[in-house]
A and B are shown apart, each in its own frame.
Chain A
């Protein structure tokens, strides 16, 4: 009932109607909007709401356990706490990082650096800021989380690698650490994953890693867990039984420890190529890496002049010295260039291509056949037959025996051994091979450089009659359904040496240890050990004079001892390489301990215990003077 003029009343009524219509249209528009959002696009928004409230926490899978050949644990897992930041829930990331550093006592710069390194990680994936957090750090974080001070920060218990024997077999077993950006790209693995970075851990990473699980939890807006929704358990990685014999590995490392030498030892079963022990000294404790290595320790390890991170057994390349004579002898016999009775007279040196080459015995060895030339390690004999055989045939037989190129061991980053050939020289220097160069090669000097593993393989090949196996470290794999032996890579390998050649070499190498040779230190009563010493020149005589400032020890030659035993039916073969041991004879006691341990373990006798370290093997300084007798 409107008052006023009829016109005015009508106008007001119209305007009120317009008001009604406009408002009704607005309400209708709102209704349609809500229909659009709630009904038509419900799925999209529901997923967004779930993404808000659901957090998927990766459950790190325990890595597979590593055993030795007798199923003794070499590497296992332990639980550790990691503290992570989930940027999606962290709100003010800057503040969170500051408070986290404050609460845990970790330098703020370190926290920031870690987060900055992972900025390309998706926001919904946690960034591990503190690996292996202490209980104090864990409780500090948990207390503040209850106070809502640290949104997006959470603590997880994760399985972490544990190496119960510390540095034992560190180079062989390798270590794990957080995946790098490059690995992420190539292996399609998630940020924060722990992956093998060297050794078996790296070579068999995919088998060992297992499958990560996932825990779905509901969180509130500050990232606090409200309730668990579901859990997909992690699957442990495959368990791997290695070919390594813990006792023998221990023996090899003890031998180095007691002797005080750096170096490497490789022991394998010449019957099938299984590695029984592989060590490189000095070593490191892979436990340091298991939960993230601290920068200071990493710097110390990576800049140490003794290079503890280098696996000398497969990455170090050295002149094989006189151990190489076996290769030259094999080539000469197999190519029919000489017979075992072929004799050479040594007068302390000989001239080839107008240059005088000296023997290791200044007075000369007299007239020798092949057996005794090896026993006495007569250089003149090998200069002579090496010259007769020629570089390419030496190269060919070095390759057949396993001394040239890579052995193919199932470890990453193996270095290639080099036994030169004329084709190699042409390809690498553009020059032809001079016959005079063969003379040096014939006694394992010159451009020959081999890894301890390759030399060990060569002696295993000689020991078994010429079957060149691919060295291998994995005996069996257990994926949860029992142990399975991998396909045998060495199936079908047949011996290539003539029995006469094998017999001569075995005799000769036995004489080195049990006769008048330089390997007496490896002699073991009751077992016929065969072997050969070798000296790797560290520095040339001329170079020695220029090496002012180097310590005496640095200038000493390296010592080799390559071996197998028993002579007639070899079960164990290998090599010990002792840095700056001056000559191979000093490596022989290490070999003796290894072989003694092998047989004691096999026969169930108490394992030998090494005597306290002997006095330093060499008191005199430095490089030998010209003409001095050089034991080989």
Chain B
């Protein structure tokens, strides 16, 4: 199953970049929560370290098992993922208006994070196996169904943010897998045409309010616009060099709600300024570009698509979260991969990079 010789092909720079972000994330979480006076959150950075350790185990497992054999069992993993989603809907822990978690000793597991991986494996296999017949449109329909089922289940939780992160998996794989631009155009047109109907019938009032608030957060600066405004102030106050580790007033004085979670990047921006922002953006870009290189040099289409699937969701989350941190996107519960506080996200992301490195390592094997 696992060949020691394969270590020679392990992409150490990518590993280093991934873990560098993990360390920065822990430091940022420590900065916003590590204060003993904040008893409720004082030890979250320790939990994050445990999550990284568990994630590393998942990373090693995903690295060790040949991705092709994993893809062979993709449908099983997919069904398992759907099962956990159903389980959560029935037995999950309800908190903050959603039913998303399974209680575990160290942290609560959020199954929706792992659905992305199962979906990436399944879609990669679908697009890789049907390539000779080239029915990308058919693949798109089947892929749409495979994506739509978990997406709906996650939306029921409700967790629109995580649900949205499934879509890039399909779009990424379909695009790289040969989806005609004409089809993409039709889909885009359909989206535009459907938008008013979605706005009228699908979106709940609070979701509409979020959109309106995003466009003009100062309509309700202490209410719905609060997070967006505070996030932007936090980022802006950082300046070129930042205010220093644990010296940012916005983050330290709790003006930014759940800073350790969705707004970790704002805290980084406040404390380490534009220089810190550029450094971290650089690390993320390096990871993306390096992974795309892996996709380009994968041994087979399955590998390419798998990397693209994992990477699409990852990239989407990174771009969305960072945009949100600067007040450029609607505030949604989308964590920043590798940095935000959250065990499930960390484990799933590390496992995802295990798959990416798996593909790269095995590019010379048969």
Contact = CB atoms under 8 A, between A and B. Distances in A.
Interface of A: 1-4, 8, 11-13, 15-16, 19-20, 23-24, 26-27, 30-31, 33-35, 37-39, 41-42, 44-46, 48-50, 52-53, 91, 218-222, 226
A91 B239 CA distance: 28
Contacts of A48: 233, 236-237
Interface in B94-137: 131
B178 A11 contact: yes
Contacts of A33: 323, 326, 328
Of all A-B residue pairs in the complex, the 7 with the closest CB atoms, nearest first, are: A45-B236, A49-B237, A220-B253, A42-B239, A221-B254, A38-B274, A53-B249
Given A23-B315, A46-B236, A30 B301 contact: no
Interface in B241-274: 249-250, 253-255, 269, 273-274
A34 B234 CA distance: 11
Given A3-B301, A27-B281, A19 B308 contact: yes
A146 B299 CA distance: 62
B30 interface: no
Contacts of B175: 15, 19
B240 A42 contact: yes
A74 B249 CA distance: 48
A53 B248 CA distance: 11
- What secondary structure prevails in chain B residues at the interface with A? helix
B250 A220 contact: no
A39 B240 contact: yes
B125 to A, nearest CB: 15
A3 B305 CA distance: 12
Nearest to B273: A38
A16 B301 contact: no
Interface stretch (B11-19, B152-160, B290-298, B343-351): B290-298
B66 interface: no
A38 B240 contact: yes
B310 interface: no
Contact of A16 (B131, B232, B281, B295): B295
B254 A45 contact: no
Contacts of B356: none
Nearest to A89: B222
Given A2-B298, A20-B289, A31-B281, A49 B319 contact: no
Contacts of A30: 281, 319, 322-323, 326, 328
A8 B176 CA distance: 10
B285 A24 contact: yes
A52 B255 contact: yes
A305 to B, nearest CB: 50
A15 B327 CA distance: 30
10 contacts: A4-B131, A13-B296, A16-B176, A34-B277, A34-B326, A37-B235, A39-B274, A41-B236, A42-B236, A46-B239
Given A2-B301, A12-B176, A24 B289 contact: yes
B235 A15 contact: no
A139 B319 CA distance: 49
A288 to B, nearest CB: 38
Contact of A39 (B232, B239, B298): B239
Given A1-B299, A31-B281, A38 B233 contact: no
B284 A27 contact: yes
Given A1-B298, A38-B239, A49 B234 contact: yes
Contacts of B295: 16
Contacts of B178: 8, 11-12, 15
Contacts of A222: 254
Given A33-B326, A48-B237, A53-B255, 5 more contacts: A3-B301, A4-B131, A19-B175, A49-B255, A219-B253
Contacts of B131: 4, 8
Contact of B300 (A3, A11, A53, A219): A3
